[in-house]
Amino acid sequence: MPLGFPPERGEMAKLVECIPNFSCSKERSPEVYEALVKVAEGVPGCTLFDAQTDGDHNRSVFTMIGSPEAIEEVAFQLTKKAAELIDMREHQGAHKRMGATDVIPFVPQMDVTVADCVAMSKRVAKRIWEELQIPCFLYEDSATSPNRKNLATIRKGEFEGMPEKLLQEEWAPDYGERKIHPTAGVTAVGARFPLVAFNMNLATPDVSIAKKIARTIRASSGGFRSCKAMGFKLEDRGMTQVSVNMVNYEDTPLWLVYETVKTLAEHWGTHIVESELVGLTPAKALADTAEYYFNIKDFDCKKQVIEYHLIDLAQGLQPKVKEPELSDLTVRGFADLVASDAPAPGGGSVAALYGAIGSALTAMVAGLTQGRKKYAAFAENAFAVQAKCMDLKERFLDVMHRDTLAFNVVSKAYGMPRDTDEEKVARRSAIQEGLKGCTKTPLEMMELCEEAIAFTRSLLSVGFNETSASDLGVSVLSFQSAVQGAWLNVLINLGSIKDETFVSEYKAKGQGILERVLKEAADLYGEITKKIEG
């Protein structure tokens, strides 16, 4: 699609959010800030929704939304302009920082996946190095190792300590040489879940209180999951600030963090004067807070917030370009659809769902293995397994939807007219092609099962958090059910296909995969059972 935003009437938009952070502020460097705003507003296909700046932090945060192509371009152009105008050797501010463009996160918004954003982050980071000679680290969902997932870990040492850090064996940049750009420093680029940044300002000049509260609530110190927090002094206002980044507001709601900070502040003899949001915030994060404070019974954000209906209405004015995904249904909705008298979704889609659940369980166990000293030796492998299984989960869900679409093609073919000889030939040909499609999809499921169960084996062989052994066992059973269910769907379609070469080829492929996966599943289940029994 062209870079223009919004899209032409009748198109479905692909939208990505980008929230670059710059080491400058309007208060301290108004000409630099305005130059960056001008760049952000000058790329077709991109809209600058918000630009926030803070003199104490000496930092600016832009929120932009646009087509993937436009967002990639504007991210690079802003980094280029920041490198031209910001000299990190002279930068001072309360917020930790390592580069003129400190961080560039990409967040999927509409018809774009996290995997798409990961690919974007790699292209942008590569271009930043090749054209601007600014080394780049990949972080969050783009991270290439567990210790690079957390931005704070990458940024530790800041601009001043980064030259020495880059020489350490484990801290070679993902793109670039082991030396910083002399004035622009280093940049982190990555894909991530929508982050909520908000600050709570305390009625005390004692920064030690803000630091103690931040240490109590942040995940790295044993506080709230998905919470990052720091304490700052606001010199100009005689106050202090607890600055919070919620990297997943569904893990820990905003109201819980706010109430905890409020209670801790009162414990140390002060109170929250005000809070502030930095950049844009997902509606659900605020709706969850409203639900708590209003004590709303049976609140449903998507049904009871009018803006959601307006979005649906606006999208309804555009022609549908694809069938709704089965994976978008609730668990109950999918089960009810399967239980209806419609022949699809049926066993093939359910088999694919088993595969998705098995992949999700393996990814969960891999995630629970990371970040714990006891399992530090397994962390690298667990990180790789988690990334692969998250991707496999999405691939299984895609096949789940396509299995139903393939069945619908056959159903449509059977409904074709057959009054003339030509119509009969066309109908038979369409049926045969449709049946081949219905065979290819479950065979693809079987191939995914073989790929996925190998990662379960990898966790078991290398090492994992054994408190989750039962979860790993259920993932094995899920793959076993998925491969057997998919095989039944291959067989039933092969029985009606006239192309003997096709039948022979697909039967041989399917039988081979089935035997290998079932043998591996039996072995894994036995080994896991022994671990649980001790």
DSSP label at 243? E
Which residues 6+ apart lie within 8 Å of 167 measured at CB? 178
Sign of the dihedral defined by the CA atoms of residues 276, 281, 282, 283, in that order: positive
CA-CA distances (angstroms) from residue 352 to 166, 226, 349? 44, 30, 5
Q: Could you tell me if 382 and 415 lie in one domain?
A: yes
Largest CA distance in the chain: 90
* Residue 442: domain span: 326-533
Q: Please name which of 172, 60, 64, 71 lies closest in space to residue 123, comparing C-alpha atoms.
A: 71
User: Looking at residue 265, which CATH number applies to its domain?
Assistant: 3.30.70.670
Residues 50, 161, single domain; the answer is yes
Between the CA of residue 295 and those of 107, 299, 306, 437, what are the distances in Å? 31, 9, 19, 51
Is residue 295 in a domain? no
| 425 and 408 inside one domain | yes
| Residues with catalytic roles | 95
Per DSSP, the residues of 129-170 read HHHH---EEEEETT-SSGGGSSHHHHHTTHHHHHHHHTTSGG
Q: Please count the helices (runs of H) and the strands (runs of E) in the chain.
A: 16, 11
Single out the residue in 148, 175, 191 at which a domain terminates.
191
**CA nearest 384: which of 403, 370, 405?**
370
Task: Determine phi and psi for 172, rounding to 5 degrees.
Answer: -70, 135
- Does residue 151 share a domain with residue 231? no
Q: Is residue 424 part of a domain?
A: yes
Would residue 287 count as lying in a domain?
no
* Positions of E strands within 258-361: 272-278
SS (H, E, C) 341-384: CCCCCCHHHHHHHHHHHHHHHHHHHHHHHCCCHHHHHHHHHHHH
Domain co-membership, 67 together with 166: yes
Q: Can you give the CATH number for the domain in which 472 is found?
A: 1.20.120.680
Quick check: is 377 in a domain? yes
Give the model confidence (pLDDT) of 347-381 as tens digits.
888 999 999 999 999 999 998 888 778 888 888 88
- Per residue in 449-470, pLDDT (tens digit) is 999 999 999 999 999 999 999 9
Angle between helices 207-217 and 254-267 (to 10 degrees): 140
Domain assignment present for residue 8? The answer is no
Residues forming beta bridges with residue 137, ordered by sequence position: 188
Q: What is the pLDDT of residue 309?
A: 63
Is-cis flag, bond preceding 345, omega within 30? yes
The one-digit pLDDT tens for each residue of the chain (534 residues) are: 333 344 444 444 688 999 999 999 999 999 999 999 999 999 988 999 889 898 888 999 999 999 999 999 999 999 999 999 999 999 998 889 999 999 999 998 888 888 899 999 999 999 999 999 999 999 999 999 888 988 989 999 999 999 999 999 999 999 999 999 999 999 999 998 888 889 999 999 999 999 999 999 998 888 898 899 999 999 888 899 999 998 888 888 899 999 999 999 999 999 999 999 887 777 778 888 888 888 887 777 767 776 666 656 655 555 444 445 676 677 787 888 888 877 778 888 899 999 999 999 999 999 888 877 888 888 888 888 988 898 899 899 888 888 888 888 888 888 888 889 888 888 988 889 888 988 999 999 999 999 999 999 999 999 999 999 999 999 999 999 999 999 999 999 899 999 999 999 999 999 999 999 999 999 999 999 998 997
Strand partners, 51: 62
Phi, psi for residue 360 in degrees, rounded to 5: -65, -40
* Residue 154: CATH number of its domain: 3.30.990.10
**Would residue 279 be called left, alpha or beta, if left means φ above 0 and alpha means ψ between -120 and 50 degrees?**
left
Q: Is 406 found in the same domain as 277? A: no
CB under 8 Å to 329, separation ≥6 — which residues? 337
Would you call 57 helix, strand, or coil by DSSP? coil
Bridge-based pairing of strands 187-191 and 101-110 is: parallel
d(CA 527, CA 534) in angstroms, rounded, equals: 11
138 and 226 belong to one structural domain: no
Total domains in the fold of the chain? 3
DSSP strand pairing (272-278 vs 196-202): antiparallel
Q: How far is CA 399 from CA 355, 437, 477, in A?
A: 10, 12, 19
Three-class SS of residue 218? coil
Are 390 and 503 members of one domain? yes
Closest to 186 measured CA to CA, from 71, 118, 126, 97:
97
Which residues face 185 on adjacent strands? 99, 181
| 181 lies in the same domain as 45 | yes
pLDDT of residue 327: 66
Final residue before a domain boundary, out of 142, 165, 191:
191
Q: Are 202 and 242 in contact (CB under 8 A)?
A: yes
Exposed e or buried b per residue across 168-201, where buried means at least 16 C-beta atoms within 10 angstroms of its C-beta? eeebebbbbeeebbebbbbbbbbbbbbbbbbbbb
194 token code pair: 């929508």
CA trace torsion 95, 100, 103, 107 (10° rounding) = 120
Query: Which of 166, 167, 26 is closest to 98 using CA atoms?
Result: 166
Could you tell me how many residues make up the chain?
Answer: 534
Residue 446 lies in a domain: yes
133 with 228, same domain: the answer is no
Give me the phi and psi of 276, to 5 degrees please. -145, 145
pTM beyond cutoff 0.75: no
Among 173, 191, 209, give the residue marking a domain's end.
191
**Is residue 75 located within the same domain as residue 129?**
yes
Q: Which neighbouring-strand residues pair with 473?
A: none
- How wide is the angle at C-alpha 25 spanned by C-alphas 21 and 29, nearest 5°? 130
> What values do phi and psi take at 281, rounded to 5?
-135, 135
34 located within any domain: yes
Does some domain include residue 135?
Answer: yes
Q: Based on the fold, state whether residues 387 and 507 are members of the same structural domain.
A: yes
Strands (E), 89-135: 101-110
